[in-house]
Amino acid sequence: MHLLLRSSKPKNLRYLFVAHHNHIFTGKLNDNLSWRSQHTAAGSSNDNNPDDNKTRKKSRPLTEHEKSIISSMIRVDHAGEIGADWIYRGQMAVLGKDKVVGPVIQEMWDQEKYHLSTFDEIISRHRVRPTFLRPIWETTGFLLGAGTALLGKEAAMACTEAVETTIGEHYNDQLRELIKFENNEEITELTQVIKKFRDDELHHLDTAVDHDAQKAPFHGPLTAIINNGCKAAIWIATRI
């Protein structure tokens, strides 16, 4: 296994690792295109070449059990991106005019908007029932973002550090599960999306640490509470 240490200031980071089979997940996505439209474009090109069609493996259908697992993954990831979107909304409401961290938060928020729009597409395409608790995730996310921002810039970054640590670990868990699914094009596409978004979240984690997240007052208890809250939200969103 390989440790994924992006930050130049590791200090007490909860180190995230990528499993030794991570080299399988090598797909890259262009942020200007949706995951589906890129695949469609690639597929259209292959369809015009009979030789490519002969060599391509046929994508097997998913079993009902596999469909249930994938639906749960998509539901919880969609809910998580909703929460992340509203956390950054809350932070921007308080710190948006700050000349130092305002642009930093905006950049991370823009990426989360792209994540959410992508999962909006995925959840619709796979016909997955979205979480019933969207209003709760939106309200809780905004209060968490605004509340920590009111404690100061460092606390806002500590919030980001804690959230992105948990989400990075969560996406890693999903990638380890998805490697068990073989020879299915839609699973391959979903794996590429999750891998890219995992890397984005880890970059947000590094950004937060670089902007003094660990100098926040009561850093340890604060991040522990947020971490446990995120894990509870993941458990709930998987089911409801």
One-letter-per-residue 3-state SS of 136-150: HHHHHHHHHHHHHHH
Residue 185 confidence (pLDDT):
79
The sign of the CA dihedral 5, 107, 144, 191 is negative
> Does the pLDDT of residue 32 top 60, yes or no?
no
Instruction: Give the span between the Cα atoms of 102 and 91, in whole angstroms.
Output: 9
pLDDT tens-digit map of 141-160: 999 999 999 999 999 999 99
Numbered residues of the known binding site:
81, 112, 115, 164, 201, 204
3-state class (DSSP) for residue 216 = coil
Position 188 scores a pLDDT of: 83
pLDDT at 5: 39
> pLDDT higher for 46 or 117?
117
Percent share of the chain, pLDDT over 90: 54
Annotated binding site for Fe cation: which residue ranges? 81, 112, 115, 164, 201, 204
Which residue ranges form the domains of the chain, and what is each CATH number? 64-239 (1.20.1260)
- pTM for the whole structure: 0.73
What does the DSSP 8-state code read for residue 60? P
pLDDT exceeds 50 at position 231: yes
Distances (CA, A) of 153 to 85, 112, 131, 178: 18, 19, 31, 37
**Per-residue pLDDT tens over the stretch 175-210:** 998 888 777 777 888 888 999 999 999 999 999 999
